[in-house]
Chain A
Amino acid sequence: MIGGLFCYNHKGEVLISRVFRDDIGRNAVDAFRVNIIHARQQVRSPVTNIARTSFFHIKRSNLWLAAVTKQNVNATMVFEFLLKVVEVMQNYFGKISEENVKNNFVLIYELLDEIVDFGYPQNTDTGVLKTFITQQGVKSVTKEEQAAITSQVTGQIGWRREGIKYRRNELFLDVMEYVNLLMSPQGQVLSAHVAGKILMKSYLSGMPECKFGINDKIAMDSKGKPAEESKTKSAIAIDDCQFHQCVKLSKFESEHAISFIPPDGENELMRYRTTKDISLPFRVIPLVREVGRAKLEVKVVVKSNFKPSLLAQKIEIRIPTPLNTSGVQLICMKGKAKYKASENAIVWKIKRMGGMKESQISAEIELLATDTKKKWTRPPISMNFEVPFAPSGFKVRYLKVFEPKLNYSDHDVIKWVRYIGRSGLYETRC
């Protein structure tokens, strides 16, 4: 039960303030500003307790979005809700910025009224919301349309309306994965996990029922196939996953089958996390040598570790420099490298890189003597990239579409599957 929702700009001025429950007073607005936005020390915890009131906040560009409650609520629910609010707003007016929020504040209040009732989150599906909250001004709705909206919002399948028709029935699946890694200087993996999600764009007519198969170990084993086969087919162990509300969970529980009636348009079907058998696309090997007190030699080697036929893109390696750096000389074989003083780091960018290759950069960092005895903490080297495969080994095995009422079958649907692997927090200590 959220008591209220506030939106501030970077100065702490209130842009949006909506109170759902009486236990939240006006002073809560100020308490958040004083204790969090204007705090002397940056507040790092997303949850803050002030005077028995809990504040949950997220920051998007220069805006603060805070949910307030006096009750003992499920914090993850609140954050999920906040993220949904952001998503809905993005879907309505694009980028979240002070300007946009100010220009659309009537719309935002209207949306808030719809997606929260007395502090309880309601339907946050943009597709559905767009059917009755529009930006085009008031449209007179006929009785039938009104009835349709009511039945849809209150009905069993709230995420899809009836009577959708497409000439070409198409279905797009994007498997998007974020690899997170922390590696020791010696190359030992300290922690690694993949956070993945499956984005689906469906342009299907009628009320189709879909069935979706993945190479999850449990799902494969339960199919009764011999264990060996599943191994050769390299099933993966999914630590946990969650689905869009359209997936019939009862069926997943009993048969490990993912079956659903898809919402129209773009949606996130599934989220999952794996920690085992991750194929790390890149390996960073740092070499740091201190030459006296005034000089530091850094050499970093990057090795790509995937099929030579594939091509990684948008590679960026960020090597932190000491705070008393007075000059940097760089030599790199591939790509472009630059010392960015404003960020205290060397940024090395490589546009493309094939599999099983390696590249190297060497830097000479000159240091200035300072009077502080504090030693440089040596932050880790971080990396960004994009690869065209799923580092967890996740595979889509099949996707079947049944539409009993209309006359198209599974074969007529055009299906697309794409795998993207991106870096999350991909760090190597040096």
Chain B
Amino acid sequence: MPAVRGDGMRGLAVFISDIRNCKSKEAEIKRINKELANIRSKFKGDKTLDGYQKKKYVCKLLFIFLLGHDIDFGQIEAVNLLSSNKYTEKQIGYLFISVLISGNSELIQLIVQSIKNDLASRNPVHVSLALQCIANIGSKDMAEAFGQEIPKLLVSGDTLDVVKQSAALCLLRLFRTDPSVIPSGEWTSRIVHLLNDQHMGVVTAAASLIDALVKKNPEEYKGCISLAVSRLSRIVTSSYTDFQDYTYYFVPAPWLSVKLLRLLQNYPPPEDPGVRGRLSECLETILNKAQEPPKSKKIQHSNAKNAVLFEAISLIIHNDSEPNLLVRACNQLGQFLSHRETNLRYLALESMCILATSEFSHEAVKKHQETVINALKTERDVSVRQRAVDLLYAMCDKSNAEEIVLEMLAYLETADYSIREEMVLKVAILAEKYATDYKWYVDVILNLIRLAGDYVSEEVWYRVIQIVINRDDVQGYAAKTVFEALQAQACHENMVKVGGYILGEFGNLIAGDARSSPAVQLQLLHSKFHLCSSMTRALLLSTYVKFVNLFPEIKSHVEEIFVADSNLRSADAELQQRASEYLALSKLTSLDVLATVLEEMPPFPEKESSGLLNLLKKKRPGRVIENPDRLDEHVKKEPRETNGTSGLTLASNTEQEGGSADLLGLGVPSAGNGNGPTTNGAGAVTNNIQKFYCKNNGVLYENDIIQIGVKTECRSNLARLALFYGNKTNHPFMNFQPNVSASPALSLAILLQVKQVDSTVEAGAQFQQMVNVECVNDFDEQPDLNLVYNYNGAPQTVNIKLPISINKFIEPTEMNGEAFFSRWKNLSLPAQESQKIFKAAHPMEATDSTKAKLIGYGFQLLENIDPNPDNYVCAGIIHTRSLQIGCLLRLEPNKQAQMYRLTTRSSVEAVSQHITSVLCETLNLPFNNQVE
């Protein structure tokens, strides 16, 4: 600010130093009050101030405001400053306004006028100041007021470059508050062509703007790809002397390069072979340049160079199409792995994690395994070590799994506490995923519990037990191993849990050995009993009762344990109950019963360890690098075995949440979560809206990407819909926007209240959205559900109806024949009745299905009322907020003619008609078992 530096404003300096010298808050407030009074007296109407004074006082006000005091005057003076011709005065005026003016101020008109004048000014400095002010305020009003002018400034031929630069950034700011400010059509190409501008500053500013625009509307701005590539190639191939002002420590235009590379990451690799070739060339050149000796020893030089390089590598990874480049990038990163600079090592590890997920570079990444393991062991910075763990996890596959798991286990002992839990999960997942030998797997997990028991979550040890139970061949080995592990002096409680469970199931397999005879097993387990939490004790009690079955010879010992006061009279209800029930079981029942009750656990349903993966994701949301599934490759190499016997990984990865069922609850398989069973095979699009007239829960819509389920609960005139969106694919849905709307007529009759949801649905995930509906009046339409999302880059839309109809608000009403017919007669006006005769589509003998549909629709089925026993008679009351509508219905089958006659009577004509027409169709639908 030359104003303060150069020509003084001594008063301001004195004031500020006074404030700084204040000893206490009170003194400061006093000084400020005094100054405010002084300024007020100066700003009094009858005095005329020159520009300098105005500037000085406005500055003081600004300073006082920044100290946290309210300023409620002086705006006029600041606005006056705007019309000054002096730069410093104008600048202070704009500064005050962008800091202090609130959006709804009365002065906004004046300000807008001043800014307009300045925008039209010939002096570029004034235009720049005005643009700055617009961007600083950046409100919707500003966007409205100047949305027209700034784009013109930006593309007009006679604007100076400096101004264009400001205009581009200002437009970017306005675009963020109000995306409609950017005109479409011809402007698009003109804005895109800014990338061709002579002036590097303009290009840099425009690159940011275009990046934001592209994110919003990728299709429209597709033209920028070739321009960006050519601009990039010009920068990359030039020598640093070509861009005098834009060379930063011998690197030509590093910021612009980075921005262009980022811009290109918004698109898939260019299709045009020419452009594509040029881009590859650029990327290669950047990689080549990294090999050149540095032109300067300054840190800034290498920083700038590496920034461009890393962005280029990101683009290579994003494009994921050129094996050659990917491998080169990988090699380059490999060099950085042993670089002196910690930040570089961190970034290299991070980028490599992504590289490892690409099929082209996976092998190349694996070459650096040694270095990474070394980094894990020797790195000082914990965040870098964390990255190394991530990378090891990502690069792991069948060939190196054993080694990596071994290294990670070895490191676990000394690992930093903050990353231990995550490492444990990763080891558990890897061990399971790539296990070829279950003995190895069991060893790894037991080692894991031994080394880092505290960090082993329940899911991990649940999983071991599931696997051991499902595999006959490891059970003996597992029993032996846990028995040995338990012999350690101090072992972790999780180990006791696993040991207790496994010995309880398979202790008999090692009982033959005298060293691990039943009595020894019991004694060993019981020696740990008293040191454990009540949950573990409960588990051990179950183990003991299993021993009763397995080894009848130690029954008396076990009973002694149950009888012990600490168990039979335990303060813990669970322990007490188990002890007394198990005791009774072992005392009273015959051997046969015991053997049946305490049979070996049935195998668990096969599942992938997605429970663990979910846990990992929960721990570090958004940062988990997937361990890529390389099963396909292995399929090529070796014929894949059948599900039951191959690697532990099994292909199904949808709807596996909570896969590790709770073991202590004795293995109830987890139920589907409110989502009805899938009726149709994938591929076909199902829209079940019709069926929802007669049912409340089920799959509403399904195609091969998404599944939408509905669960409806109704109570009088209120209904609550839970919509379940399930992502059936391996890619997340982006910009996921479900939109529930009602037609104008409908919106008068029902009130919709929709909960907001996240805009991203992770792969394979399912989440629910609640919709509350209140029925105000009767209606015969259904609200729309309009779903928009991006799947794998491509926008998708689903337009369906929400299954909410008037019958959801019917309350079934019981009444006797007399009451029914008297009401039936009361509603005999022609307008109240609606009748339809239609042909039966199904055998009329299927009365159950018809009854079920009528009940499902919401009516009470009144039996034995009609003189003709074949007729169906129903009654119900529709609840709306304004009134209750009684509804009566008769369905008379004519078996000879295979026709139905449906008569509905209600106090509202529209309702009768609606119900008749809907029921006609519904009764003709094929019946399926989902009707509830």
Contacts and interface: CB of A to CB of B under 8 A. Distances in A.
Interface of A: 10, 62, 294, 324-327, 341-344, 366, 368-372
A140 to B, nearest CB: 43
23 contacts: A10-B25, A62-B24, A324-B40, A325-B37, A326-B37, A326-B41, A327-B44, A341-B33, A341-B34, A341-B37, A341-B38, A342-B34, A344-B33, A366-B44, A368-B40, A368-B73, A371-B72, A371-B73, A371-B75, A371-B105, A371-B106, A372-B70, A372-B72
Nearest to A321: B37
A341 B30 CA distance: 8
B53 to A, nearest CB: 15
B30 A342 contact: yes
Nearest to A371: B72
Nearest to A366: B44
A370 B72 contact: yes
Contacts of A368: 40, 43-44, 73
Contacts of A324: 40, 72-73
Interface string B483-519: 0000000000000000000000000000000000000
Contacts of B73: 324, 368-371
B45 interface: yes
B31 interface: yes
Contacts of B40: 324-327, 368
A366 B47 CA distance: 13
Given A326-B37, A326-B40, A371-B75, 10 more contacts: A324-B40, A324-B73, A325-B40, A341-B33, A343-B33, A344-B33, A370-B72, A370-B73, A371-B106, A372-B72
A326 B43 contact: yes
A142 B70 CA distance: 67
A183 B24 CA distance: 33
B70 to A, nearest CB: 8
A332 B34 CA distance: 23
A325 B72 CA distance: 12
Given A342-B34, A371-B105, A327 B75 contact: no
B41 A342 contact: no
| A-B pairs with lowest CB-CB distance, top 10 | A341-B37, A326-B40, A342-B30, A342-B34, A370-B72, A372-B72, A326-B44, A370-B73, A341-B34, A342-B33
Contacts of B30: 342-343
B199 to A, nearest CB: 42
Nearest to A345: B33
Contacts of A327: 40-41, 44
Contacts of A294: 45
A341 B40 CA distance: 11
Residue of B37, B38, B106 contacting most chain A CB atoms (<10 Å): B37
Contacts of A372: 70, 72
A430 B534 CA distance: 73
Contacts of A325: 37, 40
A112 B598 CA distance: 73
Nearest to A61: B24
Majority secondary structure, A binding face:
loop
A10 B23 CA distance: 9
Q: How large is the interface on B (under 10, 10 to 19, 20 to 34, 35 or more residues)?
A: 20 to 34
Contacts, number: 48
A352 B333 CA distance: 90
Contacts of B24: 10, 62
A129 to B, nearest CB: 31
A400 to B, nearest CB: 49
Contacts of A366: 44
Nearest to B30: A342
B31 to A, nearest CB: 7
Interface in B6-65: 23-25, 30-31, 33-34, 36-38, 40-41, 43-45
A372 B105 CA distance: 10
A62 B24 CA distance: 8
B11 to A, nearest CB: 16
A376 to B, nearest CB: 12
A366 B72 CA distance: 16
A344 B24 CA distance: 18
Nearest to A374: B72
A342 B28 CA distance: 10
Given A62-B24, A368-B73, A371-B72, A342 B31 contact: yes
Nearest to B46: A366
A382 B221 CA distance: 71
Nearest to A10: B24
A202 to B, nearest CB: 40
B639 to A, nearest CB: 67
A342 B31 CA distance: 6
Contacts of A370: 72-73
A326 B40 CA distance: 5
Contacts of B34: 341-342
Contacts of B70: 372
A62 B25 CA distance: 10
Contacts of B44: 326-327, 366, 368
A342 B34 CA distance: 4
A271 B105 CA distance: 57
Nearest to B73: A370
Nearest to A40: B68
A114 to B, nearest CB: 32
A294 B34 CA distance: 20
Contacts of A341: 33-34, 36-38
Nearest to B40: A326
A368 B46 CA distance: 11
B99 to A, nearest CB: 15
A343 B23 CA distance: 17
Contacts of B45: 294
A96 to B, nearest CB: 15
Interface string B768-789: 0000000000000000000000
B815 to A, nearest CB: 62
Nearest to B34: A342
Contacts of B75: 371
A325 B34 CA distance: 11
Interface in B374-410: none
A352 B6 CA distance: 54
A366 B38 CA distance: 13
Interface in B67-86: 70, 72-73, 75
Nearest to B32: A342
Residue of B23, B25, B44 contacting most chain A CB atoms (<10 Å): B44
Contacts of A344: 33, 37
B36 to A, nearest CB: 8
B812 to A, nearest CB: 55
Contacts of A326: 37, 40-41, 43-44
Contacts of B43: 326, 368
A294 B44 CA distance: 10
Nearest to B76: A369
A369 B31 CA distance: 22
B910 to A, nearest CB: 51
A409 to B, nearest CB: 55
A326 B25 CA distance: 24
A285 B25 CA distance: 34
A254 to B, nearest CB: 51
B24 to A, nearest CB: 6
Contacts of A371: 72-73, 75, 105-107
A327 B42 CA distance: 9
A342 B107 CA distance: 29
Residue of A325, A327, A341, A343 contacting most chain B CB atoms (<10 Å): A341
Contacts of B107: 371
B75 to A, nearest CB: 6
A343 B37 CA distance: 10
A110 B25 CA distance: 32
Interface string B162-199: 00000000000000000000000000000000000000
A371 B100 CA distance: 12
A366 B40 CA distance: 10
Nearest to B42: A326
A327 B25 CA distance: 25
